Structure 1
Amino acid sequence: MAKLRYQGYCECEPTKLVREKFGNANVYAQNAQSLLTKATGFISAYDFTLNPYRGCQYGCSYCYAAAFSPNSKMQQDWGNWVILKENAATILAKELQKWYKKNPQQPPRIYMSSVTDPYQPLESQYQLTRSLLEMMLDVRNDGYPTPTLVIQTRSPIITRDIDYLQRFQRLRINMSIPTGSESVRRDFEPRSPSIKARLNAIYLIKKNIDAFKGYIPKISITITPLLPTLDTDEIAFIEQLKIADRVVIQDFHPSHNRSLIASTRSAADKIKQKYAWWYDCEQSSYAKFKSQLLAQLVGVEIKEGKDGFGYE
């Protein structure tokens, strides 16, 4: 298959034109050959990863997923383009059918998503993620168990889908909140939702799903990568984490210059210089924050790195 050339990111005639501009992002559309990708490495506890989009509007400075961009120009412009997998629901239906034909009573374990945010802003318009949730729930009509699903996001848009979320018997929602300080968030991920908006989303989910309305999802707050939280914010932030049944912490991915390797972007390394008081003693800063979590969050599971990203 010929390599696709995206308008704005190639010097010759493009094969993919910009469909529209959504905020700062060029939006492209294409059909996916497959949707469920065999899970390996950090999330090998799952059968598959599922990414409705390629690219992410949030464009966080540290995001390792930029390494998997279609080309080097798009990697450098991470956050300013998104590719819609237009046929996502159709492909997922076929792939689930194939799975259940071989494993009729064994639901697949799916991690959504590994290299994009399934609830980035344009999901409010295109609703690809919602269509995939619907497809996963439809397997019940054929007598199959619903997939085990973990949703990784930093977006309050997830609350739109409470009606679907409560129908998953085995669901964990991972809400990414890497810092408890808004000023730090604005430095490292200025396009992302506020800390308050993310916490409010979890409150809404817990408030609107009860045992009489559906299944109660497991809730994780993933402080990954662990960014600095100012001393003035730390105690109050950790107190708010009690809403979760699990808190996960992890330091930065190593930095690599090669493409197709999960690594922290150089943009984050520059911002880290502003927080030398934390990063000059990164190991002790990490240990101190972890000890505060353990002291304040009695009854909440505290996990680190890969160990924290499983469903159980």
Structure 2
Amino acid sequence: MMGKLLYEGYSSGKYDFAVREKFAQANIYAKNSQSILSKATGFINVYDFTLNPYRGCQYGCSYCYAAAFSPNSKMRDDWGKWVIVKANAAELLEKELVKWYQSNSRSPSIYMSSVTDPYQPIEAQEKLTRQLLEIMIIYKPKLVIQTRSPMITRDIDLLQRIKHLRINMSILTGSERVRKDFEPMSPSIKARLHAVKKIKQQIDPWKGYVPKISVTVTPLLPTFPEEQADFINSLAVADRVVIQEFHAQNQGRSLIASTRQEALTLTKKYAWWYDNEQQSYHQFKQQLHELLTGVEIKEGKEGFTYE
């Protein structure tokens, strides 16, 4: 059996992959993958496949469960400071979609992405996600894009050509102070909301397909009471809002979806919310229902379906 691949900077001796470049404070590596479509399991098992153009994520959010799937413990501890570019992703996607249609008459459903952000900063240079969208226009899967990046608006010209598309924009709090604590390297709340509005405004239903749009408030982070109503009202731009609490705490196992210790430590700063998290969660959910008439409110796994 082949041993684990080693990366420069995370190996005490020889390594298999050198740092290709430094991009926005992250080590960038590039490698060819064996496959690009992975069988969807667990939380998103309603899909046929997950698709992750990159491994690792420059946003490095404190709560992100995906850190558990890092190549080794050192890279897990350095979550946000490295990215592996799957250099042959576009070539693989076309091959794997051709193979799918050889034995299936229906279109596959794809969730992009489950353990990375397809529009993290390196995408501005690589345009790997854009290449994948160009292929999906041809092969017509049912697609969900999960991101927290306004960069998605760059691809409006392609997005409007995908008939079955849902865009999930992650916005976990209505308070910039909270965002800067839990996810300091991520885009602002204002920029994300503007991106959703731009998509809705610029996709003409007479000239293209209008995507379904969700705002995923998952996991739900604190929003200061004086900012809650304005935040919730701003979510009316979506047709669905999804809420969810933190994942369970990691009990010593590495390869499970769990909330990282960095986020759990931060919760002490927000004791006014987390000392009674269940009550905070239910009060927020109640406000969603009261203020967002005409918007679908879903919780947890149920909210991550395409339909």
* Aligned ranges 1:39-188 → 2 under 5 Å: 39-104=40-105, 106-139=106-139, 146-188=140-182
1:30 partner amino acid: K
- Partner Cα separation in structure 2 for residue 15 and residue 304 of structure 1: 42
DSSP-derived class of the 1:212 partner: coil
- Partner Cα separation in structure 2 for residue 89 and residue 166 of structure 1: 20
Q: Which runs of 4+ in 1 moved over 3 A?
A: none
1:108 partner amino acid: P
Higher mean C-alpha deviation, range 254-263 or range 223-232: 254-263
Cα offsets for 1:157-203 (capped at 9, x unmatched): 00000011001111000000000000000000000000000000001
| Per-residue deviation, 1:2 | 3.6
Is 1:267 aligned to residue 268 of structure 2? no
2:77 partner amino acid: Q
- Partner Cα separation in structure 2 for residue 29 and residue 293 of structure 1: 43
1:153 partner amino acid: T
* Aligned ranges 1:230-241 → 2 under 5 Å: 230-241=224-235
Cα offsets for 1:79-101 (capped at 9, x unmatched): 00000000000010110000011
Is 1:290 aligned to residue 291 of structure 2? no
| TM-score, normalised by the number of residues in structure 1 | 0.97
Contiguous gaps of at least 5 residues in structure 2: none
Cα offsets for 1:209-264 (capped at 9, x unmatched): 02112001000000000000001110111110000000000000011121111111
- Partner Cα separation in structure 1 for residue 137 and residue 213 of structure 2: 20
Identity of aligned residues (%): 67
- Partner Cα separation in structure 2 for residue 125 and residue 244 of structure 1: 29
The root-mean-square deviation of aligned C-alpha atoms, in Å, is 0.6
Q: Give 2:27's aligned residue.
A: 26
Contiguous gaps of at least 5 residues in structure 1: 140-145
- Partner Cα separation in structure 2 for residue 194 and residue 28 of structure 1: 27
DSSP-derived class of the 2:293 partner: coil
- Partner Cα separation in structure 2 for residue 203 and residue 292 of structure 1: 22
- Partner Cα separation in structure 2 for residue 26 and residue 311 of structure 1: 34
| Per-residue deviation, 1:72 | 0.2
Q: Give 1:17's aligned residue.
A: 18
| Per-residue deviation, 1:3 | 2.0
DSSP-derived class of the 1:262 partner: coil
| Per-residue deviation, 1:309 | 0.1
- Partner Cα separation in structure 1 for residue 129 and residue 172 of structure 2: 23
- Partner Cα separation in structure 1 for residue 65 and residue 42 of structure 2: 14
- Partner Cα separation in structure 2 for residue 266 and residue 111 of structure 1: 27
1:268 partner amino acid: A
Is 1:223 aligned to residue 224 of structure 2? no
- Partner Cα separation in structure 1 for residue 286 and residue 40 of structure 2: 32
DSSP-derived class of the 1:110 partner: strand
| Per-residue deviation, 1:136 | 1.1
Cα offsets for 1:82-135 (capped at 9, x unmatched): 00000000010110000011113x000000000000000010000110000011
